Structure 1
Amino acid sequence: MMINLQKSSLIAATIICLSMPVNTSASNEQAAKPGGDATGRLNYRSFVEPAKNIPRMEQLDFWDGFSFFRDPWVASPSITRDRDGLGPLFNARSCKTCHADGGRGRPSKHGEIAEPALLFRFLQANASKGDSRYGGQLQPLAIRLSHEKLTKPVQGEAQVRVFYEEITGHFADGETYTLRKPRYEIENLAYGPLDKGTYLSARYAPAVYGMGLLDAIQEKDLLNLEDINDANKDGISGKYNQVIDAVSGKKRIGRFGFKGLHSTLEQQVAGAFVNDIGITNPIFKDETCLVHQVACKQAGSVDPEHVLDIPEKLHDLTVYMSQLIAPPPARDLQSSKSKQGQTLFYKLQCQQCHTPSFTTDTSYQVKALAGQTIWPYTDLALHDMGEGLADKGVENLASGSEWRTPPLWGIGLQHRVQGFSAFLHDGRARTIEEAVLWHGGEAQPHQQKFKSLTKQQRAALLYFLKQI
């Protein structure tokens, strides 16, 4: 049974699934290729696999782009002009640091300084702006550079120490569970105290595979799912953030980032370059140094011939590679255990936010990604996830408790490929089960239904999620 994008069809699909298997074997064969013809091969060592349907010569561009994703950047000026431009302030020296093997970076441990994959935004409770002394994102590291233009060394802004509080609960059958609630303490503020009303919001770098296919979904197909005022009375009121496209200057829906702050994959990549690595680029041409960060501004101007840290060609190669990192194939969808879990997925109405399937735009700029039937299990919309997951800031139209629905494809491979697993926007959940248990707000009824399942049913549902 193919899932239609219209809400009415989704509801009909849910009604059907209560009394019969959700999908036919033929449909599951299609869902086994979550990226359509652009699905990658199954690789238990890395998520970095190009789409299978790109020509051999274009694969060379993919791997060229991957080298700029993988290799560390160095401070400018240097003799490696294709690899310099790091900083002056930054979070990591490479994309791979935070997106290890194309997946997620190493999660942060209790009592330790946050790992690079866990970055922090500075938010205000009543406005979409950052801190006057530190901007919108904390950059804990700084380049070491000696130059006559520098009157003093560049200083990283601060560090954050991570703590977890354990919360226990129990399922309806009496089995207990333990969740982790994070707490953050900021240390060594280099430029003075934070503004009154500034809050930290943690963001754990997501997996990057399949991003190009999400970029290729037509805006109208996403907007067909928007139901801000819950007109159909299903308890779900998803909405899309409204953001300014940095290239066109027009307002568009945000589909990338945990709050939907970027409208295109190209902008997401460019934003990560400038905010995370300190690499200016054709989209974001200015350093992130604030006026009072004198050494940072001086360091950013020591090489006047380097107007842009990353030239157009390298930018394009990196974006192209990001578009074509393919989602991995699904695994065991045909077993009775998987089919039982699949039926429970719909019975609990998880598909109301985790929309199973789309067909990408037939005129998308990358031909290999155009017109593909994909199975990402996301609507890319903002949903109220409750106070348990809320931060205290506002980001455009996103309130503190609203988060973008993450895609679920490949979620069960994280531990197998990377040797660790962590889920949700801040990595607090160590397992998929913990991630489900953190669902609150408009997802609270679905979480309660999950808690009321038997142990065998919970295992079947989790097994299905690990296969998609």
Structure 2
Amino acid sequence: MSKTASSKADRPPRLRLWASATALCFTAGAVGVFATGVATSFAADSGYSAADAARVGAVTAPTTDFSRPEPHENLAGGAGTFPGKPDAKSMSHPDATLDDPGVERFRLGFALFKKMWAQAPSSTQASDGLGPLFNARSCLSCHVSDGRGRPPEGETESQSFLFRLARTPVTDAERAALAAHEHLNFPDPVYGQQLQDQGVTGLKGEGRPVITYAEKVVTLTGGDIVPLRVPSYAITDLAYGPLDPATTLSPRIAQSLPGMGLLESIPEAAILAQADLQAKANDGVHGHPNRVRDPKTGAVVIGRFGWKAQNPTVRAQTAAALSSDIGISSPDAPDPYGDCTAAETACRKMPTGVQKRLGDTEAPDPILELLTAYTANLAVPARRDVDQPDVLAGKAMFYQAGCATCHTPKFVTARNAADPQHAFQLIWPYSDLLLHDMGEGLADGQQVGEATGREWRTAPLWGIGLAQTVNGYQAYLHDGRARTLEEAILWHGGEGERARNAYAAMEKSDRQKLLKFLGSL
């Protein structure tokens, strides 16, 4: 896997947002954002000046011209976009604007990302601490080539698929704790927040996830038939007794990683502005943020990462994955037993990998910092075929069907972003980062913070057209049930049902153009 940075001569120039007369001509959508006084909060939240806010409003306004690409549309991740060949390594390159020290931190982070953690005690003490219960031994095991995961297929297991476990609150004290953002939900009393299917030597894994599929058929305009997989979920070989009857299973596959640092750099006010616009449109789409507590600062902020937007920062997402997936403690998730509960007494008696000479956790800083630097600086691959007639026509269909309401095409990151390379960038994530009710067909019944059992964060679409190229398969939606982008669209319900129905009603040639557009992302 190549982890080399582009030469400075090959790097695209940092994007400038020109405040030309043309750029200041707002569309109705842009006026809607700034007429509500959001520009004022943008200034405080993002470091924008008043002039910046006007320019940002203009450049991020929804397009009405589908005859040609928009300026910089091919640079999906701004100036840091990876411009090279779309191959299996497309998602594994550093942000193109990183300086030399930044590239060095990226490389060190990658070494930790692929590190195989070992059961304690081991001869390499810096690698001690696996589990004792776990799903994978390394980050790379789940995020192969920094791409998306898949569910198990037939007899083939998948380390990039897991069950989250939780129950709803049952007492006033528990409900108050949720309201105060002290918890996202409540774990199974024995198996905790996640089913770990593996254990270190001498310790059984908790159980094995099982998926069975039924089939339902959708008929599209023109008579085309699309079979959809309808999954059912269970656990076999439970090692430590039964699950609590109130425990729900939420299946999850690993998400692709490029662009995470850019998503963290979108001003909070810009995300809230999208929620405000949707509420005022009163057309059945009404996304809202998941407000969560940052484990590092203790502040209640907007969640941006994870299938239910349960993690507010790249660092928080990294610490949560280290703890739940690998059983490695860090300053932001300091329990060296990971998700092992008090009821799992054999697990709690196992040795841990904490080395007091190195710190109080198994992955102390700078380990967590370097892993965060790696995942925050994976470059978004460049768009392809942006000027092709069928792609442009498919983009028009995407807008006309209402897909762009939730899959918001573009944002401009904050001037005061924590990392300079992410500052003031026009990016194209195709997500509003808000929670939406996606209907009963996709519901998992599991509350996560302010996300209900029917709500999911709008998945960013950048890079989605490279799923087959990078990972050798296609698996979409939170559990990977959709084997094609068309299947993923047809699973949309709830707030996404109108767009889904618009797609199903299109002529076949128009559907093909919309899919070609998605394939260019």
TM-score (norm 1): 0.92
What amino acid is the match of 1:45?
A
- Give the corresponding residue for 2:230: 181
- Give the corresponding residue for 2:133: 89
Matches within 5 A, 1:26-41: 27=70, 29-41=71-83
Tell me, in whole angstroms, the C-alpha distance in 2 between the residues paired with 1:13 and 1:61.
33
What amino acid is the match of 1:33?
L
For 2:366, what is the secondary structure of its paired residue?
A: helix
- Tell whether the 8 Å contact from 1:113 to 1:160 is kept in structure 2 after alignment: no
- Tell whether the 8 Å contact from 2:129 to 2:327 is kept in structure 1 after alignment: yes
**Comparing 254-263 with 50-59, which one deviates more in the overlay?**
50-59
- Tell whether the 8 Å contact from 2:412 to 2:425 is kept in structure 1 after alignment: yes
Deviations 1:119-173 (A, max 9, x none): 11112255621211111111111111xxxxxxxx322111111211111110021
- Give the corresponding residue for 1:160: 209
- Tell whether the 8 Å contact from 1:165 to 1:181 is kept in structure 2 after alignment: yes
Deviation at 1:404, TM superposition (A): 0.3
- Tell whether the 8 Å contact from 2:355 to 2:361 is kept in structure 1 after alignment: no
**Comparing 334-343 with 297-306, which one deviates more in the overlay?**
297-306
The counterpart of 1:456, out of the listed 509, 512, 517, is 509
For 1:66, what is the secondary structure of its paired residue?
A: helix
Deviation at 1:79, TM superposition (A): 2.2
- Give the corresponding residue for 1:76: 120
- Give the corresponding residue for 1:275: 324
- Tell whether the 8 Å contact from 1:162 to 1:185 is kept in structure 2 after alignment: yes
Tell me, in whole angstroms, the C-alpha distance in 2 between the residues paired with 1:16 and 1:89.
47
Tell me, in whole angstroms, the C-alpha distance in 1 between the residues paired with 2:249 and 2:31.
36
- Tell whether the 8 Å contact from 1:6 to 1:224 is kept in structure 2 after alignment: no
- Give the corresponding residue for 1:115: 158
The counterpart of 2:249, out of the listed 163, 179, 200, is 200
Deviations 1:212-263 (A, max 9, x none): 1101111111111124993321221000111111111121111111111111
RMSD over aligned Cα atoms: 2.4
1:442 aligns with 2:495: yes
**Comparing 303-312 with 321-330, which one deviates more in the overlay?**
303-312
- Tell whether the 8 Å contact from 1:114 to 1:160 is kept in structure 2 after alignment: no
Tell me, in whole angstroms, the C-alpha distance in 2 between the residues paired with 1:173 and 1:16.
31
- Tell whether the 8 Å contact from 2:94 to 2:378 is kept in structure 1 after alignment: yes
- Tell whether the 8 Å contact from 1:391 to 1:401 is kept in structure 2 after alignment: yes
- Give the corresponding residue for 1:254: 303
Tell me, in whole angstroms, the C-alpha distance in 1 between the residues paired with 2:72 and 2:400.
21
Q: Structure 1 residues 228 and 387, CA, compared in 2 at 3 Å: closer, same or farther?
A: farther
For 1:165, what is the secondary structure of its paired residue?
A: strand
- Tell whether the 8 Å contact from 2:134 to 2:324 is kept in structure 1 after alignment: yes
**Comparing 177-186 with 423-432, which one deviates more in the overlay?**
177-186
Q: Structure 1 residues 159 and 312, CA, compared in 2 at 3 Å: closer, same or farther?
A: same
Tell me, in whole angstroms, the C-alpha distance in 2 between the residues paired with 1:109 and 1:232.
42
Deviations 1:407-455 (A, max 9, x none): 0001011101221110000000001110000000011111011001111
Tell me, in whole angstroms, the C-alpha distance in 2 between the residues paired with 1:192 and 1:114.
23
Q: Structure 1 residues 303 and 341, CA, compared in 2 at 3 Å: closer, same or farther?
A: closer
- Tell whether the 8 Å contact from 2:429 to 2:461 is kept in structure 1 after alignment: yes
Tell me, in whole angstroms, the C-alpha distance in 2 between the residues paired with 1:9 and 1:178.
40
Deviation at 1:106, TM superposition (A): 4.2
- Give the corresponding residue for 1:134: 191
Deviations 1:254-299 (A, max 9, x none): 1111111111111000000000000000111012221121221111
Q: Structure 1 residues 449 and 9, CA, compared in 2 at 3 Å: closer, same or farther?
A: farther
- Give the corresponding residue for 2:348: 297
What amino acid is the match of 1:22?
F
What amino acid is the match of 1:162?
I
- Give the corresponding residue for 1:149: none
The counterpart of 2:268, out of the listed 208, 214, 219, is 219
Q: What are structure 2's unaligned runs of at least 5 residues? A: 1-21, 35-57, 171-184
Deviation at 1:82, TM superposition (A): 2.7
The counterpart of 1:323, out of the listed 376, 400, 405, is 376
What amino acid is the match of 1:139?
Q
- Give the corresponding residue for 1:102: 146
Deviations 1:75-99 (A, max 9, x none): 1222222322211111101111111
Tell me, in whole angstroms, the C-alpha distance in 1 between the residues paired with 2:31 and 2:200.
51
What amino acid is the match of 1:296?
C
Deviation at 1:372, TM superposition (A): 0.7
**Comparing 371-380 with 307-316, which one deviates more in the overlay?**
307-316
**Comparing 377-386 with 297-306, which one deviates more in the overlay?**
297-306
Q: Structure 1 residues 300 and 228, CA, compared in 2 at 3 Å: closer, same or farther?
A: farther
Q: Structure 1 residues 302 and 16, CA, compared in 2 at 3 Å: closer, same or farther?
A: closer
Q: What are structure 1's unaligned runs of at least 5 residues? A: 145-152
- Give the corresponding residue for 1:349: 402
Number of aligned residues: 454
For 2:217, what is the secondary structure of its paired residue?
A: strand
State the identity %. Answer: 38
TM-score (norm 2): 0.83
- Give the corresponding residue for 1:147: none
Deviation at 1:35, TM superposition (A): 0.8
- Give the corresponding residue for 1:417: 470
Deviation at 1:107, TM superposition (A): 3.4
For 1:30, what is the secondary structure of its paired residue?
A: coil
Tell me, in whole angstroms, the C-alpha distance in 2 between the residues paired with 1:258 and 1:72.
25
Deviation at 1:344, TM superposition (A): 0.6
Deviation at 1:460, TM superposition (A): 0.3
- Give the corresponding residue for 2:4: none
What amino acid is the match of 1:76?
A
For 1:31, what is the secondary structure of its paired residue?
A: coil
Deviation at 1:303, TM superposition (A): 5.8
- Give the corresponding residue for 1:148: none
- Give the corresponding residue for 1:44: 87
Tell me, in whole angstroms, the C-alpha distance in 1 between the residues paired with 2:216 and 2:464.
24
For 1:270, what is the secondary structure of its paired residue?
A: helix
1:8 aligns with 2:32: yes
Q: Structure 1 residues 88 and 15, CA, compared in 2 at 3 Å: closer, same or farther?
A: closer
1:431 aligns with 2:484: yes
